[in-house]
Structure 1
Amino acid sequence: MTRATLPSRLLALLPETPPACACAQLLNLLRHRLWPDEDFSWLAGRSLRLALLDTGYGVTLRFDGRRFGPGRGQGDVGFAAAAADYWAMALRREDPDTLFFQRRLRIEGDTELGLQLKNLLDATDWSYALARLPAPLQHLLRHPPWAGGTR
């Protein structure tokens, strides 16, 4: 068993609601830029859980048909991966299919919804979001010292 890094130990101490609210607000701000042609009607009234395997921490988000917000419980579908693997997907260094078949990305719950979300992740160009961050934060996210690279 590997030792947890300092950031993952600190993250595990957080309550779920504030980070879920922050994630929801971030998605609401970026939604139309990241997915301009997506109406998300297929996600209305559904919830998803994003979990970090290296910390056991996760957040549940719900889409009410117009906006994302914090959710409760396990969600209709759950995604679980190590933080480094989520970053690798966002930076397009790894695709969700590869991580899924290597068992580094777990998808549980509603299979159809999970497939739609996985395909959305695969088609998303996160460069717009990353480009709006301050340069030091962009560098940190592109080269996280705690990740040590992906497997």
Structure 2
Amino acid sequence: MMSLPVQTQSSEKSPTIPRLFTWPLGLVPSRLQTGALTQILNRLFAPELADGELDFLDEKVMRIRVEDVGLEYRLTLSNAKLRAARREQAEDLSIEGNTYEFLLLATRREDPDTLFFNRRLRLGGSTELGLYVKNFLDGLELEPRLGPLLKVMEGATSLLGRMGRSN
């Protein structure tokens, strides 16, 4: 199995959320944050979970790190559900970036290939698992499922983009 190194940040400066808005997240235990995220993702990806489209994550650990907010999630798939992975479990894949890049991905303002190729979102660990995740995200149609939340995410993406240009 080939392994991807965690790549260095691209030279393009990414807009970040001001620390003033993110420090309260540090007060919420990561176990609760990850629990909330897994509930959301299990609902969002329910059709894909039921069809086995996420089976490539079975018993694998994927770490997601949102750098500018200081959040880290460790997820695994067990019994066809996304769950929090234990800290002592070694990660098989990591995805790192700032909130802005994750919002660009979620709102489809940029495709996964562009974000990963330009190292705005960085992969580390298993190349094979990274490709499965990228291809899954590439083929996902979330717009109808997100409804009004998509408008909120698009607004946040625009706001962060404008904040980045003013720096």
CA contact (8 A) 1:47 1:60 kept: yes
Q: 2:76 is paired with a residue of what secondary structure? A: strand
CA contact (8 A) 1:5 1:146 kept: no
Partner of 2:155: 143
CA contact (8 A) 1:35 1:124 kept: no
Gaps of 5+ in 1: none
- How far does residue 39 in structure 1 lie from its aligned partner after superposition? 3.5
1:55 and 2:51 aligned? no
Distance 1:5 1:125, change over 3 A: farther
Name the CA distance, whole Å, in 2 between partners of 1:112 and 1:65: 21
1:79 and 2:95 aligned? yes
CA contact (8 A) 1:34 1:126 kept: no
Residue identity matched to 1:147: L
> Which deviates the most, 10-19 or 113-122?
10-19
Q: 2:36 is paired with a residue of what secondary structure? A: helix
CA contact (8 A) 2:76 2:84 kept: yes
Name the CA distance, whole Å, in 2 between partners of 1:22 and 1:37: 23
Residue identity matched to 2:72: G
Q: Rg: which structure is higher?
A: 2
| Aligned counterparts, 1:95-114, within 5 A | 95-114=111-130
- How far does residue 44 in structure 1 lie from its aligned partner after superposition? 1.0
Residue identity matched to 1:99: L
Distance 1:25 1:9, change over 3 A: same
> Which deviates the most, 112-121 or 64-73?
64-73
TM-score by length of 2: 0.74
Name the CA distance, whole Å, in 1 between partners of 2:24 and 2:34: 16
Q: 1:59 is paired with a residue of what secondary structure? A: strand
Alignment RMSD (CA, Å)? 2.6
Q: How many correspondences in the alignment?
A: 147
Distance 1:5 1:110, change over 3 A: same
> Which deviates the most, 23-32 or 140-149?
140-149
Higher helix proportion, which one?
2
TM-score by length of 1: 0.81
Q: Which of 30, 37, 47 is the equivalent residue of 2:44?
A: 30
Name the CA distance, whole Å, in 2 between partners of 1:24 and 1:41: 16
